[in-house]
Amino acid sequence: MLDTAIIGAGPAGLAAAHALKQRGLPYTHLERYTAPGGLWNIDAPGSPMYESAHFISSRTMSGFPSYPMPDDYPDYPDHRQILAYLQGFARDNHLDQQIEYGTEVERVERLEDGYRLTRQDGRTTEHAHIVIASGVQWIPNVIDLPGTYAGEVRHTVTYRSAKELEGRRVLVVGAGNSGADIACDAARSAEHAAISLRRGYHFIPKHVFGKPSDVFADEGPTMPMWLEQRVFGVLLRVLNGDLTRLGLQKPDHKVFETHPLMNTQLLHHLGHGDITARPGIATTSGTTVAFTDGTTEDVDLILLATGYHHAVPYAQDLVGDGPHPDFYLTAFSRHAGLYGLGFVETNGAAYVLMEQLAQMIAQHIEDRGARPDRWLEFENLIATDQPDLTRGIRFVDSPRHAGYVDGVAITRYLHKTAKRMGWTIP
Ligand X SMILES: Cc1cc2nc3c(=O)[nH]c(=O)nc-3n(C[C@H](O)[C@H](O)[C@H](O)COP(=O)(O)OP(=O)(O)OC[C@H]3O[C@@H](n4cnc5c(N)ncnc54)[C@H](O)[C@@H]3O)c2cc1C
Report the distance separating Cα 271 and Cα 273, nearest Å. 6
| Nearer to ligand X among residue 332 and residue 351 (C-beta) | 351
38 sits near ligand X (criterion: CB under 6 A): yes
The nearest distance, CB 53 to ligand X, in angstroms, is: 4
CB of 262 to ligand X, least distance (A): 8
Phi, psi of 178 (to 5 degrees): -65, -45
CB of 347 to ligand X, least distance (A): 10
Closest CA to 288 of 148, 95, 422, 399: 148
Residue 37 CB contacts under 8 Å (≥ 6 apart), including other chains: 9, 10, 11, 82, 83, 86, 87, 90
Contact flags string 275-314 toward ligand X, x per CB under 6 A: ---------------------------------------x
Q: What's the rounded Cα separation, in Å, for the pair 204 and 260?
A: 7
Stretch of 10-18, 121-129, 215-223, 238-246 contacting ligand X, by CB under 6 A: 10-18
Smallest separation, CB 182 to ligand X (Å): 10
Quote the DSSP letter at residue 167.
T
The residue among 39 and 331 lying less far from ligand X, judged by its C-beta, is 39
| Footprint on residues 171-230 left by ligand X (CB under 6 A) | 178
- How many CB atoms within 10 Å of residue 220? 12
Q: Are 297 and 194 in contact (CB under 8 A)?
A: yes
- Asked if 135 interacts with ligand X (CB under 6 A), we say yes
- Tell me which residue of 123, 145, 162 sits closest to 30, measured CA to CA: 123
Contact 175, 198 (CB under 8 A): no
By CB under 6 A, residue 63 contacts ligand X:
no
Q: Which of 18, 32, 202, 206 is the binder for ligand X (CB under 6 A)?
A: 32
Q: What is the Cα–Cα distance from 339 to 258, expressed in whole angstroms?
A: 27
- The total number of residues written for the chain in this structure: 426
**Least distance between ligand X and beta carbon 151 (Å):** 25
Binding mask 100-129 for ligand X (x = CB under 6 A): ----xx------------------------
Instruction: Indicate whether 156 belongs to the interface with ligand X (CB under 6 A).
Output: no
Q: Are 43 and 167 in contact (CB under 8 A)?
A: no
Residue 345 touching ligand X (CB under 6 A):
no
In the bound state with ligand X, the residue whose beta carbon lies nearer, of 132 and 365, is: 132
Minimal distance, residue 90 CB to ligand X, in Å: 11
DSSP assignment of 257-300? SS--B--SHHHHHHHTTSSEEE--EEEEEETEEEETTS-EEE-S
Q: Which residues bind ligand X (CB under 6 A)?
A: 7-13, 30-33, 38-40, 44, 48, 53, 55-57, 62, 104-105, 133-135, 137, 178, 314, 342, 349-351
